[in-house]
Amino acid sequence: MESSLVIENLTAGYGKVPILKKINLSLQKGSICALMGENGSGKTTLIRCINATLKPLRGKVWVKKKALASLNRMEIARLISVVPQATHSAFSFTCMEMILMGAVARMKPWSAPGRKEVAKAMVALEEVGGKKLADRLFNRLSGGERQLVMIARALYQDTPIMLLDEPNTHLDYSNQHSVMELIRRLVKRRNVTALITLHDPNLALFYCDRVAMLKQGEILALGKTKDIMNDGMLRQVLGSNIQCGHTENGVLVVTPRHLGANRVAV
């Protein structure tokens, strides 16, 4: 199967201090890959390298067989959309205006979005359940509502690669699952590639096809989610206070270890 995103021997950091070390990763079309690791393991740094907002010290990133280093910002924006951890605007834009900014990469200079673009943006906002937010000021939204708008903008940008850096930040429990289900459905329907940094291993288990486990800037394991997310690997990467096992109904879940073996069969 064709790989839409390939990372080769990537080392990156800030100044001359490496955070990521010799990262190799290949992601296929139509799949969701979770990027998991403790705080400071390099997840956001990798997202920044893939989006070319951080230049790697060594190694290459290929998007659709094109070397990322050879592309300008407009070309990158046609290929990659990003949902950051948190977004703030210095100006009082409406949510619709924030979403329409995702069209900049495919519009001619000095042109403005027309009716078709506005309609397309509204569809994206409806897809995340945020239709009522269209005319509200972005800076006056809650953190969770802002995340929904930024996910809508990424959908509207309509790129083959989606990078989502902890997209569930500030979302309540129900919306966390609703958003992950939405992302999964759109990835499959549009046949695009999504890389998602997550803290909750259960979200990775339920919604992601593959997982890359980061530890101190290195990938310790990469593969199908249910193969990689085992008790031993989770303890090694995320700590010894969690356990992985099956419920009485056969569902694979991760729980705090203090709940005991009576809740899951480890």
Kindly report, residue by residue over 44-56, the tens digit of the pLDDT: 999 999 999 999 9
Residue 261 pLDDT exceeds 60: no
Ordered DSSP codes for the chain: --EEEEEEEEEEEETTEEEEEEEEEEEETT-EEEEE-STTSSHHHHHHHHTTSS--SEEEEEETTEEGGG--HHHHHHHEEEE-S----SS--BHHHHHHGGGGGGS-TT----HHHHHHHHHHHHHTT-GGGTTSBGGGS-HHHHHHHHHHHHHHHT-SEEEEESTTTT--HHHHHHHHHHHHHHHHHHT-EEEEE-S-HHHHHHH-SEEEEEETTEEEEEEEHHHH--HHHHHHHH-TTEEEEE-TTS-EEEEEGGG-TTTSB-
Average pLDDT value for the chain: 86
Domains and CATH numbers, the chain: 3-229 (3.40.50.300), 230-266 (no CATH)
Q: What is the structure's pLDDT at 257?
A: 74
Q: What is the structure's pLDDT at 52?
A: 92
Kindly report, residue by residue over 80-105, the tens digit of the pLDDT: 999 987 676 657 899 999 999 888 77
Q: What is the structure's pLDDT at 115?
A: 87
Ordered DSSP codes for 194-230: EEEE-S-HHHHHHH-SEEEEEETTEEEEEEEHHHH--
Q: What is the structure's pLDDT at 209?
A: 95
Kindly report, residue by residue over 137-188, the tens digit of the pLDDT: 998 988 888 888 998 999 899 899 999 998 887 788 888 888 889 889 888 9
